[in-house]
Amino acid sequence: MSSKKVLKELNQAVKFLQKQNKHTPQVGVVLGSGLSNFTGEIEIEKEIAYEKIPHFPISTVEGHKSKMIFGKLGGKRVVAMAGRFHFYEGYDIRDVIFPIRVMKLLGIETLLLSNAAGSVNPEYKVGDLMIINDHIGLFTPNPLIGKNVDELGPRFPDMSEPYKQKLIQKAKDIALANNYAVREGVYVAVTGPTFETRAEYKALLTLGADVVGMSTVQEAIVANHMGLDVFAMSVVTDIGIREDHSIITHEEVLEAARHAEPRLATIFKELIAAI
């Protein structure tokens, strides 16, 4: 697709949303599987179903509510995505990241990402929260492949600080003040939809990953491309290598995410207030 066409589609989505909501959001939030209840924290001004937004794909995964929410939280204007798009659903990788670009063009300067992830690090437990301090994205298609849209960012973006240290530090302070234990580590993205084999979890551990998931990295890449400050957090919803050889189910992932959600919501809310 030409840069002109990409920008035209983005502008159509942005114009549509600006007609529905006059305020400029400062912070964007993406809510992962089982984490959509966070929207209850927002003083909602406008909700818009994805299917109404020009050029938006439609989310198909259970546990996602599939709407964009505009409102106030922690004294800031926010736009939240309840439900995201995953490559495994069959979308083109550029459709997966389309909403992130839309949020940037709506005016956000900071992006908060959340996800459900499987543990690779043997010390991690179900329900743990992990601040992502770096990622490995080598197993999923890079969303910036193709002609660079120079209006959005550079051809070869630096990725030495994909998750902003200042936001990580603030989140750690918030967790400490609330008496929450949080981990900090590396998220590796895979395409899914299969969970990993035992050999794959082991391989990912030797590569330096702490958790594994099927989202987030592509969104963080395009956000960095556009110069957004990014913060991301995983909820550990399942243990990769299980000594009892039990299986992993999507229901279990959703349940664990729901259980951890109040802690994640507090950290996000206080972080937004502190930005």
Question: Which residues contribute to the site for ligand HPA (CB under 6 A)?
Answer: 116-118, 190, 192, 195-196, 212-214, 237-238, 240, 248, 253
CB of 250 to ligand HPA, least distance (A): 8
In the bound state with ligand HPA, the residue whose beta carbon lies nearer, of 175 and 214, is: 214
Pairing of β 182-189 and β 211-213: parallel
In the bound state with ligand HPA, the residue whose beta carbon lies nearer, of 107 and 192, is: 192
* Secondary structure (3-state) at 186: strand
Q: CA angle at residue 69 from 127 to 271, to 5 degrees?
A: 50
Closest residue by Cα to residue 39 from 75, 13, 14, 64: 64
Residue 192's beta-bridge partner residues? none
Please say whether the beta carbons of 161 and 186 come within 8 A.
Answer: no
d(C-alpha 265, C-alpha 203), whole Å: 32
In the bound state with ligand HPA, the residue whose beta carbon lies nearer, of 111 and 254, is: 254
CB of 238 to ligand HPA, least distance (A): 5
Cis peptide before 143 (omega within 30 of 0): no
Where b means 16+ CB within 10 Å and e means fewer, 38-77 reads: bbebbeeeebbebeebeebbebebebbbbbbbbbebbeeb
In the bound state with ligand HPA, the residue whose beta carbon lies nearer, of 118 and 137, is: 118
Helices (H), the chain: 3-20, 93-106, 165-177, 198-207, 217-225, 250-274
CB of 242 to ligand HPA, least distance (A): 10
CB of 129 to ligand HPA, least distance (A): 14
Cα-Cα-Cα-Cα torsion 177, 182, 186, 191, nearest 10 degrees, comes to -110
In the bound state with ligand HPA, the residue whose beta carbon lies nearer, of 38 and 187, is: 187
CB of 150 to ligand HPA, least distance (A): 34
In the bound state with ligand HPA, the residue whose beta carbon lies nearer, of 2 and 191, is: 191
CB of 203 to ligand HPA, least distance (A): 13
Residue 132's beta-bridge partner residues? 185
CB of 251 to ligand HPA, least distance (A): 12
CB of 213 to ligand HPA, least distance (A): 4
Place of tokens 């204007």: 77
In the bound state with ligand HPA, the residue whose beta carbon lies nearer, of 57 and 213, is: 213
d(C-alpha 35, C-alpha 7), whole Å: 30
Q: Which residue is nearest to ligand HPA (CB)?
A: 118
In the bound state with ligand HPA, the residue whose beta carbon lies nearer, of 109 and 251, is: 251
